[in-house]
Amino acid sequence: MLQFQPPGFGQRAVAVSLGTLAYYKPIGALWRSDDTAQHFSPLIFLHSLGGGSSAYEWSKVYPAFAADYNVIAPDLIGWGQSTHPPCDYRITDYLKMLAEILEQLAPSPATVVASSLTAGLTIRLAIQRPELFRSLFLVSPSGYADFGEDYGRGIAAQLAGSPFLDRLLYSLGAANLVAVRSFLEQVLFADATRLTNETVDAYLASALQRNAEYAALASLKGNLCFDLSLFMSRLSVPTMMVWGEQSRFGSPAIGRRLASLNLKVVRRFEEIPNVGVLPHLELPAVVAGLLQAHLNEVQQSA
């Protein structure tokens, strides 16, 4: 997946419990030396857990911060070019993985940028291990069972959990060019004219990795669902939430309800007009601006 990274970004790898994790960071003369980067505050970008996801999801945002932060963008285990173990992924696997990423790659408390279900899981880890975090910038955080509305009980999850049928669904619905383009245009983006061929190619390349179906199906069949509303009051890490106005996976109204459960910590909630689930791919400059504002606010309150 290195071919989809911005200029000046290189690939590195680190061993975690489930295998070898690939991650991307600024390297070389365009930005600075690796030694210099260690003196900057860590800024970690975590992608969502839908078919074809990878670090590419944030690649239009993180170059804007490469000169001032120690930017790290992993392909989570089971996604992108990281190891794809053929296992039945569970919430505990991701919580352990995220903790290992922070422990090994962030020498000081990190600002973590995450989206969707990964953002929801990041909240849970921040509750368990607040010392690993400086702040959170979250796009559409969800547990996919928030306020009792459990995706895992729906027909889509039931079909994805059916032996043999699950692999067929993945092949037809996620692992071919037509399916990837259609899903991005009709479900993830609010304005299909913003979708580029590069984005389609990056998602397809990730979806076609050997054993990629295991991580994707774990999400589809509801293995990772939980009610995020039950955890929000325990969060203590300064947080900003951003939501796409036309998000199909959890509405901004759900987001505002989640934020209202802990207004002391969720210091800001912003709804971006006319974007879907991935505002950081649809309107990356807007999201970069909001992230910069968040980083400034955290710095001023330190």
What pLDDT, in 10s, does the model give residues 34-49? Answer: 556 567 899 999 999 9
What string of DSSP letters covers the chain?
-GGGSPTTEEEEEEEETTEEEEEEEE-STTT--HHHHTTSPEEEEE---STT--GGGGTTTGGGGTTTSEEEEE--TTSTTS----S---HHHHHHHHHHHHHHH-SS-EEEEEEHHHHHHHHHHHHH-GGGEEEEEEES---BSGGG--GGGSHHHHHHTSTTHHHHHHHHHTSSHHHHHHHIIIII-S-GGG--HHHHHHHHHHHTSTTHHHHHHHHHTTTT-B-GGGTGGG--S-EEEEEETT-SSS-HHHHHHHHHTTTTTEEEEEEETT--S-HHHHSHHHHHHHHHHHHHHHHHH-
Radius of gyration of the chain (CA): 18
Residue 167 has pLDDT above 70, yes or no: no
pTM above 0.85, yes or no: yes
Provide the pLDDT confidence category of residue 220 given band limits of 50, 70 and 90: confident
Provide the pLDDT confidence category of residue 30 given band limits of 50, 70 and 90: confident
- The single residue listed with the structure tokens 């509405």 is 251
Provide the pLDDT confidence category of residue 292 given band limits of 50, 70 and 90: very high
Residue 174 has pLDDT above 90, yes or no: no
| pLDDT mean over 229-256 | 96
Please tell me the distance from the alpha carbon of residue 223 to that of residue 91, in angstroms, as a whole number.
7
Q: Which residue has the higher pLDDT, 91 or 164?
A: 91
Residue 160 has pLDDT above 50, yes or no: no
Q: Which of 90-99, 173-182, 241-250, 282-291 has the lowest mean pLDDT?
A: 173-182
pLDDT, tens only, 253-289: 999 999 999 999 999 999 999 999 999 999 999 999 9
Residue 124's CB is within 10 A of a number of other CB atoms, namely: 19
Residue 285's CB is within 10 A of a number of other CB atoms, namely: 11
Q: Which residue has the higher pLDDT, 170 or 184?
A: 184
Q: Which residue has the higher pLDDT, 8 or 162?
A: 8
pLDDT score at 139: 98
Provide the pLDDT confidence category of residue 166 given band limits of 50, 70 and 90: low
Residue type, 83: T
pLDDT score at 156: 52
Judge contact between 58 and 30, C-beta under 8 A.
no
Token pair in block for residue 189 = 């983006």
Residue 159 has pLDDT above 80, yes or no: no
Surface-to-core class of residue 56, CB atoms within 10 Å of its CB (0-12 exposed, 13-18 middle, 19+ buried): buried
| pLDDT mean over 62-79 | 96
Provide the pLDDT confidence category of residue 149 given band limits of 50, 70 and 90: confident
pLDDT score at 217: 86
| pLDDT mean over 193-221 | 93
